[in-house]
Amino acid sequence: MLFMDANRLRLVTLIISLFVFSSNAQLSPSFYAGRCPNLQSIVRSVMQQAVASDSRMGGSILRLFFHDCFVNGCDGSVLLDDTATFRGEKNAGPNAGSLRGFQVIDAIKSRVEASCRGIVSCADILALAARDGVNLLGGPSWAVPLGRRDSRTASFSAANSNLPSPNSNIGALTAAFASKGLSIRDMTALSGAHTIGQARCSSFRSHIYNDGNINPSFASTRRQICPQSGGDGNLAGLDIQTQNRFDNGFFQNLMNRNGLMHSDQELFNNGPADSFVRAYSSNSAVFANDFITAMIKMGNISPLTGGNGEIRLNCRKAN
């Protein structure tokens, strides 16, 4: 289903933005308006090229932003390479071999630095790129609050402990999101990001072979891609309907017991998220509104602002 018309969506986005920004006045969509006026057009241009070359990249950048924010806040720490003094987040269990898109962020950063050196943080570039990745694949757009600064370090241990597992049950999922100030409604809306992108066999093998809350025909189809042993890196679309278009198909899949991962199907399994799945599956505008709200809230998780952190010149290393 198509999202609401552009004028109505802009009005809803403005109302949502005004409400959410009031909870974190240090971030503002106009933060760079005077000092780096071409920022958003640069990010959009690079993302257009990246998604045109690899449609999967929209989902990859969105996942990168989620994995950044859930580990010590939206501070660009996920972008840091390991150093002699700390072990970063890139090779933590939930990220190793599966996080991608770092080169796209590097390309954006390079062009931004050429336009306005030392002004824009990597954390803000990632937030804007995630928004544009969604929109370029047919999803909504919104005003991204800006003004985050970059961390000087990263945490391997926090990445291993803070990110929900694809095998999480609804209780563990709810607790993980609640610890970041996100409600069940937020959690369900954000999970709708799984309408785009792909997952590795190792992330959904247990679900398609061991779980009972799965459509047998769907499980059989996915077993052709994902054997019981080996093939850990084999890929399957998270949304069996439109994996390269941001829509509400993910929720329709869940209602038909076609969720790819255990944690996906937990959102519609006689639990507290069921009502939201039903609402989003039947009304793409409701999903769009709630997704925007949840994305802005997630982007407000513990940002570094003011004199905290730094503005990295290279997103892969501290200055």
Q: How far apart are CA 245 and CA 274, in angstroms?
A: 23
Q: How far apart are CA 190 and CA 310, in angstroms?
A: 28
Tell me the sheet residues that pair with 200. Answer: 235
- What are the CA-CA distances from residue 297 to residues 19, 116, 312 (Å)? 10, 28, 24
Tokens read off for 75: 């501070």
Tell me the sheet residues that pair with 198. Answer: 237
Tokens read off for 317: 């290393």
**Quick one: DSSP state of residue 266?**
G
Q: Can you give the length of the chain in residues?
A: 319
**Using an 8 Å Cβ cutoff, are 288 and 135 in contact?**
no
Name which of 122, 127, 128, 156 is nearest 319 in CA terms: 122
Q: Quick check: is 262 catalytic?
A: no
Which residue type does 193 have?
A
Tokens read off for 84: 């002699």
To the nearest 10°, report the CA torsion of 59, 65, 67, 73. -160
Among residues 67, 194, 207, 262, the one annotated as catalytic is 67
**Using an 8 Å Cβ cutoff, are 56 and 198 in contact?**
yes
Name which of 92, 101, 96 is nearest 59 in CA terms: 101
Instruction: Give CA angle at 98 (234, 260), nearest 5°.
Output: 55
Whole-angstrom Cα Rg for the chain: 19
Instruction: Tokens 């198509």: give the residue.
Output: 2
Name which of 122, 130, 67 is nearest 98 in CA terms: 67
What residues are labeled active site?
67
